[in-house]
Amino acid sequence: MTLPATPRNVMAVALAMLLLLVLVVLLSLTLGAVHVPLSEVWRALTARGGGSEATIIVLDIRLPRILLAILVGAALSVAGTGLQALLRNPLADPYVLGISSGAAVGAIFALWLGGRIASASPLAAFVGAMITMLWVYLLGRSGGRLASYTLILAGVITASFLSAIILFMLTLLSTRDVRGIAFWLMGDLSVTPLAELRLLAPVIILAIAGLYLLAKDLNVLLLGAEEAAHLGVNVPRVEAGVYILASLLTGLAVSTSGAIGYLGLLVPHLGRMLVGNDHRMLLPTAALGGAILLVLSDTLARTALAPAELPVGAVTAVAGAPVFIYLLRKTAG
Amino acid sequence: MERDVILTKRTQLSAALPSCALAMSLSILLSAAAFARTVKDQTGRIVTVPENPHRLVSLAPNITEIVYALGLGDELVGNTDNCDFPPQAKDKPHVGAMVNPSLERIVALKPDLALGTPEANRRETADQLERLGIPLYGVTASTLEGTLASIEDLGRILGRAAQARSLAAQMQARIDRVEKQTEGRPKPKVLFVVWYRPLITVGPHTFIADVIRAAGGIPVDENLKGEWPRLSLEELLPLDPEVILFPQTESFSPSKQEFQTLPGWKDLQAVKEGRMFFVSETIMRAGPRLVDALEELAGVLK
């Protein structure tokens, strides 16, 4: 199905997705290891303040986690959409290409140095993501062209190389730090405090908005770099913009919640099936769709074996890996 | 007009007086009920602990054992999926795994104090609980002595100082007895196998290594770093342990005979002589039963 991306249609789709997101959030607020009756959830949401357990569980435990899932889900999905357009490769995804691993290496390196630098781990994750992305991009070019399989191979190999670096760094860290880091690496949305969300939210929203400004150019870029240049697109500028913004989104997502895989791959595809290939339509759909999917995944992660909690990265990988294989076979055929 | 104002003022004043007294007596009552101490726990965190905590959540099996040993089993309102001793601990509401307990379960249990240890829990969990207004008091032990000290420390925090002191004294007496028995005996080099492929053992600065020393052995390598160091088989060969210990866990599969055919293992003195023993998993819990493990191990090393 392809809708023409008129402002009206974009608004309509965005509103519909937003409504769905609100419903998913409400559902997620009512589910958890502790049963909180619907009426209590509603009271917690409407009557602010009051220190009952239900209020604390809903507002201080579930809500921040859901908000983080929304931000991280949107960030990873938009980063994936941008990368797929930039690399003209439907298999591109921050996780598959090793960019998430690069961000993780950056974040762990900052923690390893410790002290004041440790608090700059989001920045270090961003730098790690940038370097990795540039590296994979250069490695994936053969004869001046980006070849689909070469690129994916370059990414996969880079990811496994970086995993080895992570393992190496983990052996140098103390056991206590390792336990926390290993858990974070599997994808964990449970720890970020609300205060940090207030800093994270504007940056992620601005980065997504920045990519949206490039939506029209991305559409043209899909025809090929030369064609886009002929049609008046400043290709290097658009490429650099997507490159920086996607790395920024990946770095922020990874530094707060670890390597949550396949979301950046899965969501753009679902989005294309839903609204077609026009990035003015696709980007908002991917942002909201990613948010919805990650909220659902995390709800599953914290309720499936309650009170034990699964790492959300495991949930997204179980759902995402088969889709990746399917897409790989489809593009091969 | 003016009269009205005066009247209001007077009523305000007369109303204010008793409410003031009420507030004062209330605040006295409240401070008596919610009197709390701000202390530094064994991990160096500053914690505000209620004077007489009576709703406890334990986040580690060894702490659950200590709480029961201090006679506070009824005060324990929740523990982890791994807390299996004493048996009635299994019937308490569980809050999930040690490394990522369910915060909402903990909140729902309305604890006034949570107890944890960096050996089992993550720092992030402590921070999260703090933000939710639940104090977490942490204990840690890297020696037998330290284990006794953390029992006494918990006793002071939980208002059972006397019981804790006498429990620690009993444990100390048993430690002394074992040490006296093993005095003068040859000290075998002991390898404690946490996992065998790859080989993971215990560092020299852990309570497990300390139990081995007190039981009359020496940890195979006193220069290893960290709590759970890896050891390669080529490092192990020249160390040549005389005794190999395995904790009795469900996940441990290979038998003694299998080690006699395993390359790297089969040439070790302990394997050739069959001095490989399974010891109760209690040795991995810094709690009251650590002395049981010590006595058991002293018997094994005899």
Q: Given B94, B104, B228, which is nearest A61 (Cβ)?
A: B104
- The nearest CA of chain B is from the CA of A165 a distance in Å of 18
Inside any domain, residue A55: yes
Residue of A nearest to B230 (CA): A171
pLDDT exceeds cutoff 80 at A147:
no
pLDDT band at B10 (very low <50, low <70, confident <90, very high): very low
Residue owning tokens 């940038």: A130
Contact A190 B128 (CB under 8 A): yes
d(CA B80, CA B100): 10
Q: pLDDT averaged over chain A? A: 87
> What's the domain count of chain A?
1
* Contacting B residues, span 145-174, partner chain A, CB-CB under 8 Å: none
Rounded CA gap, B293 and B283, in Å? 5
Contacts of A306 in chain B (CB under 8 A): 96, 102, 105
Is the pLDDT reported for residue B30 higher than 50? no
Q: What is the DSSP letter of B226?
A: S
Does residue A104 belong to any structural domain of this protein?
Answer: yes
Q: Which CATH number fits domain B184-301: 3.90.1150.10, 3.40.50.1980, 3.40.50.620, 1.10.287.990?
A: 3.40.50.1980
In a domain, A1, yes or no: no
Is A306 at the interface with chain B, CB within 8 A? yes
Contacts of B110 in chain A (CB under 8 A): 53
* Cα A3-A294-A170 angle, rounded to 5 deg: 135
With 80 as the cut, is the pLDDT of residue B27 above it? no
**CATH number where A148 lies:** 1.10.3470.10
Tell me the CB-side half-sphere exposure of residue A260, using CA atoms within 13 A.
41
Predicted confidence (pLDDT) per residue in A296-307, tens digit: 999 999 998 888
Complex ipTM value:
0.77
Domain parsing of chain B, residue ranges: 36-140, 184-301
Tell me the CATH class for B36-140: alpha beta
Q: What is the separation, in whole angstroms, between the first and last Cα of chain A? A: 22
State whether residue B99 sits within 8 Å of chain A by CB.
yes
Domain region containing A37: 7-332
Average pLDDT, chain B: 86
Bridge partners, B96 (sequence order): B101
DSSP secondary structure, B26-79, as one string = HHHHHHHHT-EEEEE-TTS-EEEEESS--SEEE-SHHHHHHHHHTT-GGGEEEB
Q: Taking CA atoms, what residue in B is nearest to A65?
A: B103
Note whether A61 contacts B103, CB cutoff 8 Å: yes
**Touching A: B residues 191-250, CB under 8 Å:** 226-228, 230
- Residue with the larger pLDDT of the pair B12 and B110: B110
